Amino acid sequence: MATLLLVFSFVSAATTTVSAAKASSAEVSYTPQDNYLIDCGSNAQTTHSDGRLFLSDQSSGKYFSSQGKDILVSVPSADVPSPVYLSARIFTETATYSFHISRPGWHWIRLHFYPFKTTDYNLFDAKFTLTTDDLVLLHEFNVGSNTSWFFKEYLINVTTERFSLKFQPVKGAPAFINGIEVVSAPDLLITETGSTLFPVAQYNDMGIQSYETVYRLNVGGPEITSRNDSLGRTWMPDLQYQAPKQMGQNVSVDPSAIKYPEGGSRLIAPQSVYASAVEMANANTKSPNLNVTWNLDIDLSYQYLVRLHFCDIISDSLNDLYFNVFINGNTAISGIDLSTLTGGLATAYYKDFVVNSTMVSTPLSIQIGPWTQGTGAINALLNGIEVLKMNNSVNSLDGEFGVDGKTAKGGVNKVTVAAVGFAMMFGAFVGLGAVAVRWQKRPHDWQKRNSFSSWLLPLHAGDNSFMNSKNSMGSKKSQFFSSTGLGRYFSFAELSEATKNWDPNAVIGVGGFGNVYIGEIDDGIQVNLAEWAMQWKRKGLLEKIMDPSLAGDINPESMNKFVEAAEKCLAEYGVDRPTMGDVLWNLEHALQLQEASLQGKAAEEDENNKKAIAASATATAAVVAPVDNKANTASATGAVVHPGEVPVIDEHSGTAMFAHFATINGR
């Protein structure tokens, strides 16, 4: 299954923590050892908008090889951010750019594209595959009707002395490229280990993955161009991804006020990222029950590294801001206190999460909200979000095929779909045939028997009897019952008959005590445990079929809520069955009822103890105020809660419990 890398602080989640300490003057500039910048298709050097110098195609010819002819094209002007996009090299055959790597390690690979039409070529029709020696960057990529410029950014750990980019046109369509960057990146950008959110575990393969930048957002601030980032990165504004936008408000300080912890580096993110943030719009109000949410569309076939950037630029004192962070509805950080982690205010901090594909959904949701258990300010903030796609099992960042043609695990092709569909259809016919045969062989007096229950096997009902009208006293062939209430015993004769006198053809395996046989008892009567349980539920006698060891300990309301949830899941039609969110909501409600019952019992016992103490004190002539049995207990939030009582929960769709309404005042 492909891997999605979300660089933020949230699911599936690789965790990197910057150590808290005194601020240090980390390096602001970075000089890459490998720095290949090529303006493809140009005949002269080009200066990028950020001041970097790109070599012309003519002066970089030593890096290029092709099986076809050289095709260089250009346009005189266009609405593009850099002159690099005004020229392009076109490929009609396989072509390769190869670069000598002087320092193996992490490298930025940036590819610039701007399709346009020429006399002989229409680059909007381009379709091609782009690979390295062992990694697929683009698979049968089709520019289509995209009329704007765009670029792809990758972060790859290059371990060899030579790095190649191979362009392969597809089915006669051209391939093209406007600009190429192969630039060294600092090793501190990616750590060796991290952790996942679901399941919570350590992730040890961070250093061998390849990454594609999907989102890099300057939360609460303007665009930061490559000119203002030491590593040539671009940080886009976040406003279009907030949903709804009125939940958060921007806040900013002078970038010079931002500090970095000891061991931290400004190369992780520039001061401008940490100098702006989004905080809760109705912070410090009486009822700030909301989360600020960012929704990011992603490809569900991959896992992501999410890196979240934080810097407390809104607090006036230490240990006054505690808040929660969620990724796809899962708790990523609970009660985070940035001042404790960094040792001060206005100090940079970031955290990484690897969100594996089992918890990925689209859009990817990142949320911040107040930590209601704290005593500090009711607020939350976020400064930056990075989301990086991680390569899948065949080392591809686009599609399910690797460089060697292997298919990714979990990849589905047309042949597989057809085979599965045929198998399901065949199974359905077999099932219908079995039902028809069973119907033909039904007993002649089946209508006179006790409806469906007469088709059930004798089942233990918790009172040493069996729930089958036909066999109310157990099997006619076996009148033995377990004295301990464990169920029915089978005689050797019954077992011999069930296995057709131990027919070798009935052997289905070998266990620790010999052969394992499959047999048929009670004329092959089929059992429906769900229907049986529902019969007891309708009779209001669920305690008769529950585990005897739990009798008396389960709150009846909790038990009924649990069974109601199970009953809804048994609905015949899918449209009538609850969603997973509804199921989780009902189970949570049942748990709350049970816990409240236990708390009520504990409170009652405590009250009884107080009465006993009071009575004892009275006997010794001590004057004790009477205990009010109706006294209420105040909750931590100021609400009055009676012992054993749980908050009223709306019986509407459980999905709403996990969603956040588009209003300013609640979830």
- CA 502 – CA 495 distance, rounded (Å): 8
pLDDT digits (tens, 9 = 90+) for 467-484: 444 444 344 444 444 444
pLDDT digits (tens, 9 = 90+) for 55-80: 998 888 899 999 888 899 999 999 99
DSSP string, 98-138: EEE-SS-EEEEEEEEE---B-SS-BGGG-EEEEE-SS-EEE
Give, for 636, the enclosing helix (H) or strand (E). none
576, pLDDT greater than 80: no
Find the mean pLDDT for residues 23-27.
Answer: 40
335, pLDDT greater than 60: yes
423, pLDDT greater than 50: yes
- CA of 126: how far to CAs of 92, 115, 247, in Å? 10, 8, 42
pLDDT, residue 457, reads 42
- CA 20 – CA 340 distance, rounded (Å): 8
Strand duo 35-39 + 53-56: pairing: parallel
Q: Any idea what the Cα angle at residue 327 is, between residues 321 and 329, rounded to 5°?
A: 100
Structure tokens at 30: 């970075």
Which of 56-70, 207-221, 568-582, 635-649 reaches the highest mean pLDDT? Answer: 207-221
Q: Which of 136-145, 311-320, 542-551 has the lowest mean pLDDT?
A: 542-551
pLDDT, residue 224, reads 97
Q: Residue 639's pLDDT band (boundaries 50, 70, 90)?
A: very low
466, pLDDT greater than 70: no
Q: Residue 442's pLDDT band (boundaries 50, 70, 90)?
A: low
pLDDT, residue 2, reads 47
Q: Which of 249-263, 372-386, 443-457, 591-605 has the lowest mean pLDDT?
A: 443-457
pLDDT, residue 594, reads 84
pLDDT, residue 483, reads 44
Q: Which of 325-334, 365-374, 606-615 has the lowest mean pLDDT?
A: 606-615
pLDDT, residue 129, reads 97
pLDDT, residue 563, reads 83
Structural contact between residues 235 and 229, judged by C-beta atoms closer than 8 angstroms? yes
Per residue, what are the HEC states of 472-527?
ECECCCCCCECCCCCCECCCHHHHHHHCCCCCHHHEEEEECCEEEECCCCHHHCCC
pLDDT, residue 88, reads 96
pLDDT, residue 665, reads 37
pLDDT, residue 522, reads 75
- CA 580 – CA 577 distance, rounded (Å): 9
Contacts of 353 (CB under 8 A, 6+ apart): 6, 8, 9, 10, 11, 12, 13, 14, 15, 194, 195, 196, 197, 305, 306, 307, 308, 327, 332
Q: Which of 139-143, 144-148, 538-542, 639-643 has the lowest mean pLDDT?
A: 639-643
**Comparison of pLDDT for 57 and 428, the residue scoring more:** 57
**Comparison of pLDDT for 400 and 662, the residue scoring more:** 400
pLDDT, residue 426, reads 56
176, pLDDT greater than 90: yes
Q: Which of 69-78, 317-326, 407-416, 639-648 has the lowest mean pLDDT?
A: 639-648
pLDDT, residue 23, reads 37
- CA of 198: how far to CAs of 137, 173, 330, 392, in Å? 27, 43, 8, 18
pLDDT, residue 645, reads 42
pLDDT, residue 625, reads 40
pLDDT, residue 498, reads 87
What percentage of the chain has pLDDT greater than the value 70? 72
Structural contact between residues 551 and 467, judged by C-beta atoms closer than 8 angstroms? no
Structural contact between residues 142 and 101, judged by C-beta atoms closer than 8 angstroms? no
- CA 294 – CA 311 distance, rounded (Å): 18
In the chain, count of helices (H) and strands (E)? 8, 33
515, pLDDT greater than 70: yes
Q: Residue 289's pLDDT band (boundaries 50, 70, 90)?
A: low
The pLDDT mean for the chain works out to: 78
Q: Residue 204's pLDDT band (boundaries 50, 70, 90)?
A: confident
pLDDT, residue 18, reads 39
pLDDT, residue 623, reads 40
- CA 623 – CA 258 distance, rounded (Å): 63
Q: Residue 614's pLDDT band (boundaries 50, 70, 90)?
A: low
Other Cβ atoms less than 10 A from the Cβ of 406: the count is 14
Architecture of domain 35-185: Sandwich (2.60)
Find the mean pLDDT for residues 106-110.
Answer: 98
Could you check whether the bond before residue 363 is cis, i.e. omega within 30 degrees of 0?
A: yes
Q: Residue 84's pLDDT band (boundaries 50, 70, 90)?
A: very high
280, pLDDT greater than 50: yes
- CA 207 – CA 107 distance, rounded (Å): 12
- CA of 181: how far to CAs of 53, 176, 601, in Å? 11, 15, 69
pLDDT digits (tens, 9 = 90+) for 404-421: 887 765 444 444 444 445
DSSP string, 60-75: TGGGEEESS--EEEE-
Structure tokens at 270: 């520039």
Third-level CATH fold of 4-27+190-390 = Jelly Rolls (2.60.120)
- CA 197 – CA 268 distance, rounded (Å): 22
Q: pTM of the predicted model, to two decimals?
A: 0.62
